[in-house]
Structure 1
Amino acid sequence: MEKVSILHLITAAKNASPFDVNMAFDAGFDKIMPYTHVEMHEVAGLVQDAIFSRGPSGVKRESIFIGGRDIDVAMDMLSEAKKAMVPPFEVSVFADPSGAFTTAAGMMAKVEKHLAKNFGGDLSGRRVSVFGATGPVGGCAAVIAAKYGATVQMVSHRNIADAQAKADAYNARYGVNIIVVDGASDAAKIEVLKNTEIALCTAAAGVQVLSLGQMAQAKHLKVVADVNAVPPAGAEGVDVFADGTAIAGINAFGIGALAIGNVKYKTQHNLLKLMLDAEHKHYLDFLSAFEMARKSLLA
Structure 2
Amino acid sequence: MSRSILHMLSPLKHMSPFDVNMAADAGFDVVVPYTNVTLEEVTGLVQDAIFSRAPNDGKRTGIFIAGKKAGLALDMLDAAKKAFVPPFELNLFADPAGSFTTGAALVAVVAKALRDKHGTDLKGKRVVIFGGTGVVAYCAAVLAALERATAVIAGHDGVQRVAGIAAEMKERFGVTVEPADGSSRAASEAAVRDADIVLSAGPAGVNILDASQVAAVKNLLIAADVNAVPPAGIEGVGVMAKAEPFNGSKALAIGALTIGNVKYQTESGLFRRMLETDKPLAFDFRDAYAFARDVAG
Q: Give the structure-1-normalised TM-score.
A: 0.96
How many Å apart are 1:160 and its aligned residue?
1.6
How many Å apart are 1:58 and its aligned residue?
2.9
1:246 equivalent to 2:245? Answer: yes
CA distance, structure 1, for counterparts of residue 174 and residue 284 of structure 2: 16
Q: Deviations over 1:221-240 (max 9, x none)?
A: 00011011110000000000
Describe the shift of the 1:86–1:220 C-alpha distance in structure 2 as closer, same or farther (beyond 3 A). Answer: same
1:34 is matched with 33
1:102 is matched with 101
* Counterpart contact for 2:59–2:91, Cα < 8 Å: no
- How many pairs align? 297
CA distance, structure 2, for counterparts of residue 141 and residue 296 of structure 1: 17
* Counterpart contact for 1:193–1:221, Cα < 8 Å: no
* Counterpart contact for 2:150–2:177, Cα < 8 Å: yes
Gaps of at least 5 residues in structure 2 are none
How many Å apart are 1:282 and its aligned residue?
1.3
* Counterpart contact for 2:215–2:247, Cα < 8 Å: no
CA distance, structure 2, for counterparts of residue 269 and residue 150 of structure 1: 28
2:72 is matched with 73
2:288 is matched with 289
* Range with greater deviation from structure 2 (244-253 or 135-144): 244-253
2:229 is matched with 230
CA distance, structure 2, for counterparts of residue 187 and residue 200 of structure 1: 18
| 1:28-177 matches, cutoff 5 A | 28-177=27-176
2:274 is matched with 275
In structure 2, the residue corresponding to 1:214 is in which secondary structure? helix
1:184 is matched with 183
How many Å apart are 1:150 and its aligned residue?
0.5
CA distance, structure 2, for counterparts of residue 185 and residue 278 of structure 1: 48
Q: Percent identity?
A: 48
* Counterpart contact for 1:215–1:250, Cα < 8 Å: no
* Counterpart contact for 1:13–1:68, Cα < 8 Å: yes
CA distance, structure 2, for counterparts of residue 63 and residue 163 of structure 1: 33
How many Å apart are 1:278 and its aligned residue?
4.0
Q: CA RMSD in A?
A: 1.2
Describe the shift of the 1:37–1:196 C-alpha distance in structure 2 as closer, same or farther (beyond 3 A). Answer: same
Q: Give the structure-2-normalised TM-score.
A: 0.97
